[in-house]
Amino acid sequence: MAYFLQQLIDGLTLGAVYGLIAIGYTMVYGIIGMINFAHGEIFMIGAFTTVIAFTVLTAAGVGSLGVALAVMLVVSILFTSLYGWTVERIAYRPLRRASRLAPLISAIGMSVFLQNYVQLLQGARVKTMPPLLQGSITLLHRADGFSVSISYLQIVILVLTFVLMAGVSTLVGRTNLGRAQRACEQDMTMAALIGINVDKTISTTFIIGACLAAVAGFMVSLYYGVVDFFMGFLAGMKAFAAAVLGGIGSLPGAMIGGVMIGLIESFWGGYINASYKDVAVFGVLMLVLILRPNGLFGRPEIEKV
């Protein structure tokens, strides 16, 4: 039971990161009906920006942990949102009225470009940073010495994810921007006719998705302490799987899908074989899509004629 609880905590932490990235996928798909395959690289840039900001702050002699973490987070969000906005302007906006295949190829090209761009700027070697937020709370101590604990960093990740999820849900459901996003999702032409700035709405959506990816990159950098230029590919694929699993276009579905992916990884790696955890993740995704093609919370698309 103790080992199960520890795997549960670790899986929820990992799933929270996947869920934040998955929300970016599902928000973009919900408006323009296309998958931003460069979103994993946006997450990777957020992680790199965090490490670079930490290096600069260390060189500047900033000693306060709270100030350092706040600056790292803000810098990561600002830089990453700029990249998210750029991806929309370059890879999507010029091809918005093209066939669906053209933006897809453009996004994949942007993904490859960003990988190599970061590799050229930062090098192919991994970047590391020391653990900043240490300490944990012991929840259960077994007689054989095994302890169930949750670290302070895991608590921060879970709480921050919950707050962001609540904030994004409120933004989409109760604000003018959210109403504009839903209007663009239903009919961009009609939305433009009633005075909605479609270009601004879509750009803002990409920026919001990039901000969430930046927070995920920030959390992964603190949690693992290692980043590399290829980390966005696999994380992006798993987050995309989470969005599809939960039902692409559904914000709660994206988060629940992310948590499910994290739990599958954690329990499969803990009880069966960690080498095949990715096989288990995508195998479960295939099984769910066979039984529920629209995902757990997705709705079938109804085409009006």
pLDDT confidence tier of residue 262, bands split at 50, 70 and 90: very high
CATH of the domain at 96: 1.10.3470
pLDDT at 63: 77
Q: From residue 305, give the alpha-carbon distance in Å to each of 18, 190, 294, 302.
A: 37, 16, 21, 10
Number of domains in the chain: 1
pLDDT at 200: 93
Is the model's pLDDT at 304 over the cut of 70? no
What is the chain's mean pLDDT, rounded? 89
298 versus 281: which is more confidently predicted? Answer: 281
pLDDT at 141: 81
Q: Is position 227 within any domain?
A: yes
- Identify any residues that bridge with 226 across adjacent strands, giving them in sequence order: 128
Which tokens is 92 given? 């999507």
Is the model's pLDDT at 106 over the cut of 80? yes
pLDDT at 301: 61
pLDDT confidence tier of residue 249, bands split at 50, 70 and 90: confident
Give the pLDDT confidence of 68-94 residue by residue, as tens digits.
999 999 999 999 999 999 999 998 888
133 versus 16: which is more confidently predicted? Answer: 16
Q: What is the mean pLDDT of the segment spanning 224-246?
A: 91
Q: Is position 275 within any domain?
A: yes
| 138 phi and psi angles, rounded to 5 deg | -80, 120
Q: Is position 296 within any domain?
A: no
Q: Is position 86 within any domain?
A: yes
Q: Is position 304 within any domain?
A: no
Q: From residue 218, give the alpha-carbon distance in Å to each of 17, 20, 105, 193, 301.
A: 10, 12, 28, 40, 35
pLDDT confidence tier of residue 98, bands split at 50, 70 and 90: confident
Q: Which residues contact 300 (CB under 8 A, 6 or more apart)?
A: 294
| Locus of tokens 């869920």 | 19
Q: Is position 194 within any domain?
A: yes
pLDDT at 40: 93
Q: Is position 303 within any domain?
A: no
Is the model's pLDDT at 277 over the cut of 80? yes
Give the pLDDT confidence of 154-178 residue by residue, as tens digits.
999 999 999 999 999 999 888 999 9
Give the pLDDT confidence of 39-68 residue by residue, as tens digits.
999 999 999 999 999 999 999 988 788 899
pLDDT at 69: 93
DSSP the chain: -HHHHHHHHHHHHHHHHHHHHHHHHHHHHHHHS---TTHHHHHHHHHHHHHHHHHHHHHHT---HHHHHHHHHHHHHHHHHHHHHHHIIIIIGGGTTS-THHHHHHHHHHHHHHHHHHHHHH-SS-EE----S--EEEEEE-TTS-EEEEEHHHHHHHHHHHHHHHHHHHHHHHSHHHHHHHHHHH-HHHHHHTT--HHHHHHHHHHHHHHHHHHHHHHHHHHH-EE-TTHHHHHHHHHHHHHHHH-TT-HHHHHHHHHHHHHHHHHHIIIIIGGGHHHHHHHHHHHHHHH-TT-SS--------
pLDDT at 300: 64
* Stated pTM of the model: 0.92
Q: Residue 114 belongs to what domain range?
A: 2-135+149-291
Of 197, 220, 176, 243, the residue nearest 28 (C-alpha)? 243
Considering only CA atoms, give the Rg of the chain: 20
Share of the chain above pLDDT 70, in %: 98
Q: Which residues contact 30 (CB under 8 A, 6 or more apart)?
A: 181, 185, 248, 249
| 58 phi and psi angles, rounded to 5 deg | -65, -45
287 half-sphere exposure, CB direction, 13 A CA radius? 6
Q: Is position 141 within any domain?
A: no
- C-alpha 76/C-alpha 37 separation (Å) is 20
Q: What is the mean pLDDT of the segment spanning 193-209?
A: 93
Give the pLDDT confidence of 135-156 residue by residue, as tens digits.
899 888 877 777 889 999 999 9
pLDDT confidence tier of residue 204, bands split at 50, 70 and 90: very high
pLDDT at 8: 93
